[in-house]
Amino acid sequence: MEENKVRQEKNTEIEMKKEYLKGYEKVRRQMERSELRIREMRLNRICPSVINDGMPHASNQADLSGYAALLDQEEKRYMRYRYLRVRKCKEITDRIEQLANEDEKDVLMYRYIRLMKWEDICVKIGHSWQHTHRIHAKALNNFKM
């Protein structure tokens, strides 16, 4: 009974470590979305959507200051969050680098930082699928959060 509880706690800890490491990918995706949003805002200002109804339309330059303020606000928010996200990415990679075993470092970096598939990781480190997964399990056990 006690052995099952210990095993369950260990599995929960491993899952928490995996989620922590997956945080790197989440942060990268958040940064990409923010960059895309700013790029779209700039592009929409340069190339506003065209109304093809055959009627002449005046271009409205009056809202330029409002647009500039909105863009500035979005860029400041992006920079603030980018700083926090870059710090989070650095924290994750630094913790991976603290591992003593180079194979363990490689497997975690390839899997969670470079987002490689297991087959590609096996080829890259020159080990079988099974041995690569054993290295991954040992790396998660040795990884400190």
What's the chain's average pLDDT?
86
- CA–CA dist 145, 141 (Å, integer): 11
Dig out the tokens for 19 from the structure. 């989620």
Q: State whether residue 59 is helix, strand or coil.
A: coil
- Band of residue 63 on the pLDDT scale cut at 50, 70, 90: low
Q: Are 104 and 90 in contact (CB under 8 A)?
A: no
- The answer to whether residue 87 scores a pLDDT higher than 80 is yes
Residue bearing tokens 């959060």: 145
User: Residue 75: what pLDDT?
Assistant: 81
Q: Which of 3-7, 25-29, 39-43, 66-70 is the most confident on average?
A: 25-29
User: Residue 56: what pLDDT?
Assistant: 54
H or E stretch covering 47: none
User: Residue 135: what pLDDT?
Assistant: 98
Ordered by start, the domain boundaries in the chain are 2-51+62-142
pLDDT, tens only, 13-59: 999 999 999 999 999 898 888 888 878 877 776 665 544 555 555 55
- The answer to whether residue 126 scores a pLDDT higher than 90 is yes
User: Residue 57: what pLDDT?
Assistant: 52
**Cβ atoms within 10 Å, residue 92:** 22
Range 92-107 average pLDDT: 97
CA dihedral 124, 112, 136, 142 (to 10 degrees): 130
User: Residue 39: what pLDDT?
Assistant: 82
